[in-house]
Amino acid sequence: MPFEPPSSDLPPLQRLLEIMARLRDPDGGCPWDKEQTFATIAPYTVEEAYEVADAIERGDLKDLKEELGDLLFQVVFHARMAEEQGAFDFDAVAEAMVDKMVRRHPHVFAGQVYEDVEAQTAAWDAIKASERAGKARHSLMDDVPPGLPGLTRAVKLTKRAARVGFDWPDYGPVMDKLREEVAELQVEIDSGDLPKARAELGDILFVMANLARKLDVDPEDALRACNAKFERRFHHIEKVLAERGKTPDQSTLEEMDALWDEAKALERKAL
């Protein structure tokens, strides 16, 4: 027999937790939900986080509400699987976060006073370092998640190194390093050594992430904005070509380049 939906008298979060439990129920649950694991759900969790960021970027609060719900469901899903294994449950996740936030905000919950935002940030980093010291880790880099997007992880790795003085003083030497890496890439391209060219390209991307950190720019945000700009301009090319009864593959590079420049000019005029 089918399950009854959770009572509408329950708080929304409790209803969601009950729905998740029923989806995973061995008898009568959803076949797809029952076969999932932490590993198979993880990509969806990352995807939902990006969709939240996209809704924020677009300023669409209605969509943001829905995407936040999707992201919350991912947390509920992981917590349910852990509860089934006897590891922890959703309440334990929430309780751990409560403890962490209280611990990391002594200026809010314990009367601590900081002179300015910089002092508060330094104290935050010190508290986090103390937390890491209590874990069985041996390197400053140990808890930088390997599953992060490459540019984000590069920023976090260089930020960690900077805490102990392993860093350039400002963006100037980073620009010099970038020019050096570009020259090295050119050498490998000219030699036809693609494996080495791949390595040099990775060096360039790593330096770019470091430069973004120096300029206080999120490289993932910058790249997303560039992707959106490329899409917007290419859509203009497609639109104009369609008005001419053509498609991009029926056009020349010169014709599409001219329309690209036209799209850029229209964007500048709109500013």
User: Considering the domain 12-102, what is its CATH architecture?
Assistant: Orthogonal Bundle (1.10)
What mean pLDDT is reported for the chain?
A: 93
Mean pLDDT to the nearest integer, 169-177: 96
> Would you kindly state where each structural domain of the chain is located, as residue ranges?
12-102, 105-135, 136-217, 221-270
For residue range 175-211, list pLDDT tens digits in order: 999 999 999 999 999 999 999 999 999 999 999 999 9
- Each as own residue / partner, the long-range contacts of residues 54-59 (CB below 8 Å, 24 or more positions apart, any chain) are 54/224, 57/221, 57/224, 57/225, 57/228
CATH (residue range 136-217) = 1.10.287.1080
Structure confidence by residue, pLDDT tens digits, 69-127: 999 999 999 999 999 999 999 999 999 999 999 999 998 998 898 888 888 888 888 88
Per-residue pLDDT of 133-147, as tens digits, reads 767 667 888 878 888
